[in-house]
């Protein structure tokens, strides 16, 4: 891949990659850092990326690998010394935005937030396939490539995640609206 092709990838897939970064980090600052680190790493790996072979999947796998490495380092450091993580600005943004929404939009936003929170509570092995499938619209084969697991495992995890989400959201929505 050339630098020009990478620039095209940034323009074409940049919002999708940022959205994925935002979903896995759950923090605007960390998402910005991960997004930037992803494309810096892509610059280092230009010769390995093929522009013809779905560079979006490759970029998503770079972002995921960087995020897992960062989490692993954070877990290791927190075992050595208690480290305080960066505060999550997402909840504050939701509160600010909801103050100006009409009632029907506020209800829809609350339901979306409930689903998003339920997805975020899933174990990572279920959360990542769900995010890649529904948020990034990746087919199962590309999810398998990004996560470096077999296609059957992706299908199984998607099925299990849907069952967990259905069970949790049924309880939450029944309590809220039942």
CATH architecture of 1-88: Orthogonal Bundle (1.10)
Structure tokens of 113?
């937030």
Whether residue 1 has pLDDT greater than 80: no
C-alpha span between 17 and 56 (Å, rounded): 8
pLDDT band at 36 (very low <50, low <70, confident <90, very high): very high
Whether residue 86 has pLDDT greater than 50: no
Mean pLDDT, rounded, of the chain: 81
- DSSP letters of 79-111? HHS--PPPPP-HHHHHHHHHTTS-HHHHHHHHH
Whether residue 55 has pLDDT greater than 90: no
Question: If you average pLDDT over residues 96-117, what whole number do you get?
Answer: 70
pLDDT band at 72 (very low <50, low <70, confident <90, very high): confident
What are the residue ranges spanned by the domains of the chain? 1-88, 101-178
Question: If you average pLDDT over residues 106-126, what whole number do you get?
Answer: 82
Whether residue 87 has pLDDT greater than 90: no
pLDDT band at 52 (very low <50, low <70, confident <90, very high): confident
Q: In this structure, which topology does domain 101-178 adopt according to CATH?
A: Arc Repressor Mutant, subunit A (1.10.10)
């Amino acid at each position: 891949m050339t630098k020009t092709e990478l620039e095209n990838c940034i323009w074409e897939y940049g919002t999708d990659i940022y959205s994925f970064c935002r979903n896995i980090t759950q923090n605007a600052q960390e998402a910005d850092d991960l997004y930037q680190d992803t494309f810096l790493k892509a610059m280092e790996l230009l010769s390995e990326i093929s522009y013809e072979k779905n560079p979006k999947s490759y970029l998503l796998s770079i972002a995921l690998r960087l995020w897992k490495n960062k989490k692993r380092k954070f877990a290791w450091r927190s075992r050595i010394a208690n480290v305080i993580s960066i505060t999550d600005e997402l909840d504050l943004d939701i509160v600010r935005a909801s103050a100006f929404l009409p009632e029907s939009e506020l209800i829809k936003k609350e339901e979306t937030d409930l689903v998003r929170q339920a997805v975020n509570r899933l174990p990572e092995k279920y959360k990542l396939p769900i995010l890649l499938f529904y948020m990034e619209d990746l087919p199962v084969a590309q999810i398998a490539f990004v996560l470096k697991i077999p296609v059957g495992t992706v299908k199984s995890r998607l099925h299990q995640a849907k069952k967990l989400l259905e069970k949790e959201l049924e309880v939450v929505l029944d309590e809220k609206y039942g």
